[in-house]
Amino acid sequence: MNKEYSIHQLYPFIHWPSFFNDWSYDSQYAKIASLQGCDVVRASWLSDFAEDDRTEASDAMQLLKEANRMIDLLNRDYKVKVYLEEIPFEVVNDEVTFMQESIHLEALANNLTFDTYPSFKKENLVDDLHKEQSLHLFITTTDDEMDLLFENDNYKRKLVQTLAKRLTEAASICLYNEVYNTKESKVAYIDSITKDIKKQLLKNNLFNQSSLMDIKITDSNSLSPNATRIGLILANYILYL
């Protein structure tokens, strides 16, 4: 399945604590993103902080305003592209194997992307895998032009890049919701420590959709566009490779 999401479609699924962490802010400031209402509401939120923290909280509030303006700007011209494929797999001992690649389940326990429900337990993941008939392999990526925006403005360039990462993450959540026909995801996000799997998948003939999405492996052995995510969807988990 190939499709596209608009930036505004993905906005409700942005994980703001991760965005603020990208800018070296404590995740406590992310609550400002969920506040609805007028400036009085936001001022009340600001006044709840200790005086020593108020300046940083005010800066975080300003960052969110600028992020929202950038999202509106990006929404005019860009989309997030996704690909989803159902694939067979097998679990043997502590390894899950798919498309000739294997992941050690034990190694995933300490690699949650951020705290979510349910907490990761290898035993639960193994049980869920045995209940699945297949896995869903996905790619989420941005338009490659987004990597080139604001080359002469470091602040705006970073703003685009940090938002792009959260948007491709949000797209994986939307795909999860579609696979499991739910409107509210409660999943654990896991980063695999097996660094080379996604690059091998991109080279795999079974995964030739990557070329149609303009995804490339650069000379420095990273992915382009920078925000590209490749992973697996299964019950209760999104596994980023």
Between the alpha carbon of residue 113 and those of residues 12, 166, 169, the distances in Å are 18, 12, 10
Q: Per-residue pLDDT for the chain (241 aa), expressed as one digit of tens each?
A: 889 999 999 999 998 988 998 999 988 888 888 776 566 677 777 777 777 888 888 898 899 999 999 999 999 999 999 999 999 999 887 788 888 888 877 666 544 455 554 566 677 778 888 888 889 999 999 998 999 999 999 999 999 999 999 999 999 999 999 998 877 666 766 666 565 676 677 666 545 666 677 888 777 767 889 999 988 888 878 888 8
CA count, 13 A, side-chain hemisphere, 219: 0
Regarding beta strands 229-234 and 237-240, do their DSSP bridges make them parallel or antiparallel, or are they unpaired? antiparallel
Q: Dig out the tokens for 131 from the structure.
A: 């209940």
- Helix and strand numbers (H, E) in the chain are 8, 12
